[in-house]
Structure 1
């Protein structure tokens, strides 16, 4: 479908017309907070989309500049009184831009990252684990010290990428067989292990499985599962995103699972979007609906199924940093906080602006490092004011961005996932 045809689909035009131009989205928008430009607000971007759809402006130029600068955090959806589905509008706009870029061959670096990273790396678990081993060796040899001297002289995206790397844990989750329940058996669940999460945050996945086991669940790992497709959608590669969705639906189809669980807010939002993404494919419409009905974020699931609450004491002052796609996309706000409060000894403190993005947004912090760093600096100022010694997250990108943010801000704090703190309380 031609780029301009994507912007003239009836559903797209209908969603555009839902916007009543009230401006309540402006205070919620991170890029508007930085630039104070109408064109860098959700309302302004919707006006640009409408102008492009009507042929009044080209897709390249102002449209491309301001649409690409959007983080896609969807905070505007939470603020909008009219229920504008801005996330779906943005996906379509970026899909149209992707077609234009392919013809003009612009932004070659971004396209190279998309081709190599999104198509040839993220969907392949073995390749990612091999990359993690290489990064582990890099850390063991003390090369980060050399990198900190060299990187300021190179593009800022490389500084961001190096700063995001957590200490690598090579004790990857064993996916060869189900993990048995460690308490009276309550049911059988499937675990979506993710791609970056599996390779670079192996401890988070192990903690997720152990907490489920302690609460009586047998955990299965469908071997054919692959990347969720969030990164492909963010880059406008809709056809590849659909292919990944079909593969995951087929992978989880076998097995009468009570739930399909993910511990990454961005992955969960993508997985829950499969029904919309495949709505025009008769062979997958009903399959996608059945799949989505079982997808749950780990916090969402455990808040209702914490059959054996932890009893170990964890003395910590904890600030929880919301994942935008968990808070605004999936509307999961209370469960992570409830789980943290269930840990004996944890003092949970709130940010002044918990609904504001940290600047990660998939690979946004690599493609738009200057804006991402300004958004991150505002977030870290809020984190600093909380005076916590542990920063808890519930999403892969947020976790890595907080690792970078702690280094950048010089904070004395540890970054962890909610389930890692939970698991610690089961083994004090």
Structure 2
């Protein structure tokens, strides 16, 4: 029997590979297949490559890595598959195989290492925010568009407007509601979220408290490991997962609330990430069982805080790691529907990723740009007053191609404005 091209540490499981019957129901929902029409850039094509590699018939270096790298990991195929193929589990077993066994070019390695040396660390992000503010004030972006290579050009174009006041702000560790405590929750404040979207965290605390939740936000928390998990950096993901579990498991709470789709998806997957670690498997299972997107918590509570009308037409974009990976679709809409006067418009091609996908829009800027432009066209086609989506990566990616014509918010910001009776941020 030919030896597998995968190493022995958590290779894609044979029974999961065999689940795929190559029916093709995934093809219309796969972003890269829609862009290129190439079979090996579809989910069933990538599973076929995994199958060949598992049998030792192809090596990991070369075409195999190129086609796996081209996958966004959006998991739209998981939603559309009638056979229940767990492509998410297959991809998250395959990417670490590539990271361990396939040498990358020096420039590729340095770029990826740079991402993971910066984004998971709030202190480093805050230092970068200072440099980013100077960069924006000096008007260097236009020069960069002409001289930077594509990856760095894409990265700088995604940089949000920097506000040092919010970038260095801290959240209160405990927020108590007025009146009866209906639930006690802990909140993940995140990395990029807390530095560049701090106002979303503030709105999350206010809305949860207004609906009767006591909110604990531990100051010592760090990165949850989502970027590493989705990019195949298993060691990075494991280290940060364990630290996150240690931080939150000692808090006497009903739920661990997350307002970032990618983080919530990863935290719910700790149960798989640490399944074969005897010291952590049960702790991971108990922790993952408590993780909830903020919309899940709010949708389960009968609204208590009065809402003021918001007369607006809203386009709701399903973040892939909320809709596809977590299966949370109805809850954000249920929460938004509690706002009087709000009209919610669903998007054409709603299942297609916007091109953000963790670090994808930085390491694969060309297809990410095509998908970003396509998503922006679909948003404009429904003529909304504002776009609402529950992931900072989506807000940055879509904002690059949507421009300043349409305001963009996290759903909890819209609810916060309605509860407080204030103008939209």
TM-score normalised by the chain length of structure 2: 0.93
Residue number among 157, 160, 178 corresponding to 1:163 in the alignment: 157
- Number of matched pairs: 416
Counterpart for residue 113 of structure 1: 111
Counterpart for residue 119 of structure 2: 122
Q: Is the 8 A contact 1:189 1:261 kept in 2?
A: yes
Distance 2:111 2:33 in 1: 27
Q: Is the 8 A contact 1:21 1:43 kept in 2?
A: yes
Residue number among 265, 273, 290 corresponding to 1:294 in the alignment: 290
Q: Is the 8 A contact 2:135 2:141 kept in 1?
A: no
How far is 1:7 from its partner?
8.1
How far is 1:237 from its partner?
1.2
User: 1:138 aligned to 2:132?
Assistant: no
Distance 1:274 1:3 in 2: 26
How far is 1:77 from its partner?
0.3
CA spacing shift, 1:291–1:173, aligned 2, 3 Å: farther
How far is 1:8 from its partner?
7.8
Distance 1:401 1:412 in 2: 15
How far is 1:110 from its partner?
3.3
| Post-superposition CA distance 1:177-214 (Å, at most 9, x none) | 31222343223210011111011111111111110111
Distance 2:256 2:182 in 1: 15
How far is 1:60 from its partner?
1.1
Distance 2:105 2:408 in 1: 34
Query: SS at 2:6's partner residue?
Result: helix
Distance 2:108 2:68 in 1: 15
Counterpart for residue 44 of structure 2: 43
User: 1:417 aligned to 2:410?
Assistant: yes
Distance 1:383 1:272 in 2: 30
User: 1:98 aligned to 2:99?
Assistant: yes
Query: SS at 1:219's partner residue?
Result: strand
Counterpart for residue 427 of structure 1: 420
Following superposition of structure 1 onto structure 2, how do residues 144-155 of structure 1 map, counting pairs within 5 Å? Answer: 145-155=139-149
Residue number among 310, 315, 324 corresponding to 1:314 in the alignment: 310
Distance 1:48 1:58 in 2: 10
After the TM superposition, which of the residue ranges 199-208 and 334-343 deviates more from structure 2? 334-343
| Post-superposition CA distance 1:54-107 (Å, at most 9, x none) | 111111111011110000000000111111111111112111111123xx3x23
Query: SS at 1:386's partner residue?
Result: coil
Unaligned runs of 5+ in 2: none
Distance 2:227 2:372 in 1: 20
Following superposition of structure 1 onto structure 2, how do residues 336-351 of structure 1 map, counting pairs within 5 Å? Answer: 336-351=332-347
Counterpart for residue 52 of structure 1: 53
Q: Is the 8 A contact 1:8 1:53 kept in 2?
A: no
How far is 1:234 from its partner?
2.3
Q: Is the 8 A contact 1:163 1:403 kept in 2?
A: no
Query: SS at 1:329's partner residue?
Result: coil
User: 1:235 aligned to 2:231?
Assistant: yes
CA spacing shift, 1:390–1:199, aligned 2, 3 Å: same
Q: Is the 8 A contact 1:197 1:205 kept in 2?
A: yes
After the TM superposition, which of the residue ranges 170-179 and 151-160 deviates more from structure 2? 170-179
How far is 1:108 from its partner?
2.6
CA spacing shift, 1:12–1:28, aligned 2, 3 Å: same
Distance 2:176 2:227 in 1: 32
How far is 1:311 from its partner?
1.7
How far is 1:6 from its partner?
4.4
Distance 1:369 1:339 in 2: 34
How far is 1:5 from its partner?
2.3
Residue number among 173, 176, 179 corresponding to 1:180 in the alignment: 176
Distance 2:276 2:320 in 1: 28
Counterpart for residue 4 of structure 1: 6
Distance 1:294 1:242 in 2: 18
Aligned-residue CA RMSD (Å) = 1.9
Counterpart for residue 261 of structure 1: 257
Following superposition of structure 1 onto structure 2, how do residues 20-99 of structure 1 map, counting pairs within 5 Å? Answer: 20-99=21-100
Counterpart for residue 352 of structure 1: 348
Distance 2:62 2:14 in 1: 21
After the TM superposition, which of the residue ranges 269-278 and 395-404 deviates more from structure 2? 395-404
Residue number among 170, 192, 210 corresponding to 1:214 in the alignment: 210
| Post-superposition CA distance 1:384-413 (Å, at most 9, x none) | 101112010101211111211212xxx610
Q: Is the 8 A contact 2:5 2:59 kept in 1?
A: no
